[in-house]
Amino acid sequence: MTGFQPMKLLFVFLGGLVLLFIIAPLAGLFLATSPAAFFETAMEKEVAGSIWLTLWTSMLATLIFALAAIPFSWILARRKFPFKRVISAVINIPVVIPHSAAGIAILGFVSRDSLAGQIGDRIGLSFVGSAPGIILAMAFVSIPFLINAARDGFAAVPEKLENAALNLGASPARVFLTISLPLAWRSILSGLIMMWARGMSEFGAVVIVAYHPMTTPVLIWERFASFGLDYAIPVAAVFITVCLVFFMILRMLSSPYDHAEN
Amino acid sequence: MTMLKIKDISIRLGQFELNRVNFEVPGGEYFVLLGMSGSGKSVLLQIIAGLISGASGQVFLDGKDISNEKVQRRKVGLVFQDAALFPHMNVFKNIAYPLRSAQLKNREIEKRVNELAGVTGVSHLLKRTTANLSGGETQRVALARALALSPSCLLLDEPLSSLDVQLRGELRSLLRELNRRGQTIVHVTHDYEEAVLLAGRVGVIEHGNIVQQGSPTEVFQHPRSEFMARFVGIRNFFNGTLSGEPGSARKFHTGGITFTILSDEPPGEGYIVIRGEDVTISKNMTTSSAVNNFRGVVTSLGPARIGTEVMIDMGISLGVLISDESAASLELSEGKTVWVSCKASALKFIGK
């Protein structure tokens, strides 16, 4: 029989406070939204359009940048090279700087006066006030989540398995695709979900690069600034619901050894 | 014909160093590299497989210099100590992996996998996940996978070290069978019993150098270095036949003399090992619990690492380790006749 454990009780109490701190504002948001207002908002063309824009731009940002970030993560996990620590620190810069500052930096980089902006113009691609600009802003602030998770995933794959595959006649590309990638997949998938979720919820950088077309976080801000809290709450409730549904589905799909061939 | 030739291989990895290692393995030979942990034997295997770069010297396989060949193009199959099976693939896919790398057709892959599974005794495991395999099964699958591309030389890194006694025996039989079929094998181990039981030839590696090469009998009966003597102790190895059934009085016949031995091994061909420390010398025949008593002549005596090593000819040449005080009190000298005794339990039989 275990006796009275004050420390355990204190920890449980503190944990409860933290949970309450997270749940209470969200619960309040939903309680302040009547089912009628919720569905009416969800059916609004502007709201539905902004949610759809937010979903596809964040997904595309994740997928496009994953093509480069995943192999780069493998290099970070497996190879030694000069300034590796510096590069690892650079990767995390988007996490530590204010996102409005990140937005300003991206805007400077892709504005029509910049080299990237001019090249974009020539091929008919405008970054400012457009979906490509939103994608860039989302990717900038969220890519560290993917790189860090994928690098940790690759580092956890025993190097011996990659060596064994090479010894068995596989090319380095085949080793990467058939050994490293499947074995690190759980971490990579987790990183992809985190990158997508972080990109989807981004406001600061996106609002500076592209106020229009409006992603949902910008729309929530716009409703709040123009009409007040009562008009912002239902949009926030609908958007949070959509995010949670997607987040839960993706988390359920990421079970251990998804690619196991048993 | 030489299948594998290692010429002047040297490398420095931190504190560790391989220093101008040379040896040759003829086609079809079972070569055991024997050394303690940290001696460099596993590093040497990885250099041969191309997994460690930066070594000077050359590696020749079937007459061709493969020192600068890419890992995936060297025709050497390496079996890692812990097998390194791919955990996200089942047994079939593990064995098929090298065949898919070689872009064989599905039908050929299936045929070859079934063939290899038959040889290595894992046919019933093909659909199993690798996580549920026993130690012996894991090593068999690793062997089948390494053999899939018909390597010119099979490299084994302590393949028996994680197995219990019975499984070791079974896997040893499989390795012998593979070698009998003509497979050239280089096997590294720290276990002299593996060397005795499997090797056609043994190379002893110490601190990054090959200090002795030869047949197991040559290497163990005539250790050429203090390291080797320390490594194996003064051990007497004799080839012969064990008779009698377990539970009865057992006899081991070798070189015209017969030892009484305690053993529960089945009768048959094999070796006995007698540690020099377990043999006593006396001037006259004495009555004691020692049932093996032989008269012999001292052929040589000299200092060992500790004590005195005495070689006695009693039909076979037996090495005995005694204290310096005993050697003095027995007034031992070359040509002197003495009695040697050892208990039946001091003899260890290793079946072939």
My answer on whether B311 and B241 are in the same domain is: yes
| Nearest CA-CA distance, residue B216 and chain A, Å | 30
CA distance A195 to A233: 25
B182 near A CB under 8 A: no
Residue among B47, B53, B59, B71 with most chain A CBs within 10 A, to mutate: B71
**pLDDT above 50: residue A36:** yes
Interface contacts (A, B; CB < 8 Å): 73
Q: Which of B183, B208, B232 is the last residue of a domain?
A: B232
Structural domains counted in chain B: 2
* B335 shares its domain with B293: yes
Answer whether B101 sits within 8 Å of A174, measured CB to CB: yes
pLDDT band at residue A259, thresholds of 50, 70 and 90? very low
A contacts of B130 (beta carbons < 8 Å): none
Q: Say how many CA atoms lie within 13 Å of A155 toward its Cβ.
A: 12
* CA–CA dist A34, A238 (Å, integer): 11
pLDDT at residue B235, as a whole number: 66
Same domain for B69 and B52? yes
Backbone φ/ψ region at B38: left (φ over 0), alpha (ψ -120 to 50), beta: left
Answer whether residue A86 shows pLDDT above 90. Answer: yes
- Whether B112 has its CB under 8 Å from any CB of chain A: the answer is no
Strands B235-243 and B209-214: unpaired
Contact B72 A259 (CB under 8 A): no
**How is residue B213 written in tokens?**
């090469």
- Chain B residue with the nearest C-alpha to that of A181: B88
B302 and B203 within one domain: no
For B93, the closest chain A residue by CA position comes to: A261
Which residues of chain B does A158 touch, with a Cβ-Cβ cutoff of 8 Å? 84
**pLDDT at residue B155, rounded to an integer:** 97
Instruction: Give the pLDDT of residue B286.
Output: 81
Confidence of residue A48 (pLDDT cuts 50, 70, 90): very high
Q: In chain B, whose CA is at the least distance from the CA of A170?
A: B101
The helix or strand, by DSSP H or E, that contains position B220, with its residue range, turns out to be helix B216-221
Q: Among B45, B74, B88, pick the best mutation site for testing chain A contact (most A Cβ within 10 A).
A: B88
Q: Specify whether B214 is located in the same domain as B260.
A: no
For chain A, list the domains and their CATH numbers.
56-79+98-213 (1.10.3720.10)
Cα separations (Å) of A126 from A117, A133, A261? 7, 8, 45
Q: How confident is the model at residue A44 (pLDDT cuts 50, 70, 90)?
A: very high
Average pLDDT per 10 consecutive residues for chain B, totaling 352 residues: 93 88 95 88 94 92 94 94 95 97 95 95 95 92 95 95 82 92 95 84 89 84 64 72 84 92 87 87 86 92 78 90 90 92 87 70
What residue type is assigned to position B313 of the chain?
D
Q: Are B150 and B177 in the same domain? A: yes
Q: Is the same domain home to B217 and B249?
A: no
Nearest Cα residue in chain A from B85: A161
> Which tens digit of pLDDT belongs to each residue from A216-254?
999 999 999 999 999 999 999 999 999 999 888 887 876
pLDDT of A258 higher than 50: no
Q: What CATH number does residue B271 fall under? A: 2.40.50.100
pLDDT for A261 beyond 70: no
Average pLDDT over residues A54-75: 97
Structure confidence at residue A74 (pLDDT)? 97
Shared domain check, B164 and B119: yes
The answer to whether the CB of B343 falls within 8 A of the CB of B278 is: yes
Beta bridge pairs of residue B251: B243, B260
**Mean predicted lDDT score pLDDT of chain A:** 92
Which member of B72, B77, B88 has the closest CB to residue A260?
Answer: B88
Residue A181 CA from chain centroid, whole number? 20
Chain A residues near any Cβ of chain B (below 8 Å): 158, 160-161, 163-172, 174, 178-179, 182-183, 257, 259-262
Shared domain for B205 and B291, answered yes or no, is: no
Strand partners, B348: B273
- Provide, as residue numbers in chain A, all residues whose Cβ is less than 8 Å from the Cβ of B126: none
Chain A hits for B72, CB-CB cut-off 8 Å, are: 166-172
Q: What is each CA distance from A141 to A15, B92, B231, in whole angstroms?
A: 29, 44, 61
The answer to whether residues B229 and B275 touch, using CB atoms and an 8 Å cutoff, is: no
Of B37, B61, B28, B31, which is closest to residue B47 (Cα–Cα)? B61
Say whether both B27 and B143 belong to one domain: yes
The answer to whether residue A152 scores a pLDDT higher than 80 is: yes
**Cross-chain residue pair A174–B77, CB shorter than 8 Å:** no
Interval A107-145: pLDDT, tens: 999 887 888 888 888 888 888 889 999 999 999 999 999
pLDDT band at A262 (very low <50, low <70, confident <90, very high): very low
Task: Give the Cβ contact number of residue A41 at 10 Å.
Answer: 21
**For residue B133, what is the domain's CATH number?**
3.40.50.300
| Full domain range(s) for residue B165 | 2-232
Q: Which of B181, B202, B232 is the last residue of a domain?
A: B232
Residues A137 and A198 sit within 8 Å (Cβ to Cβ): no
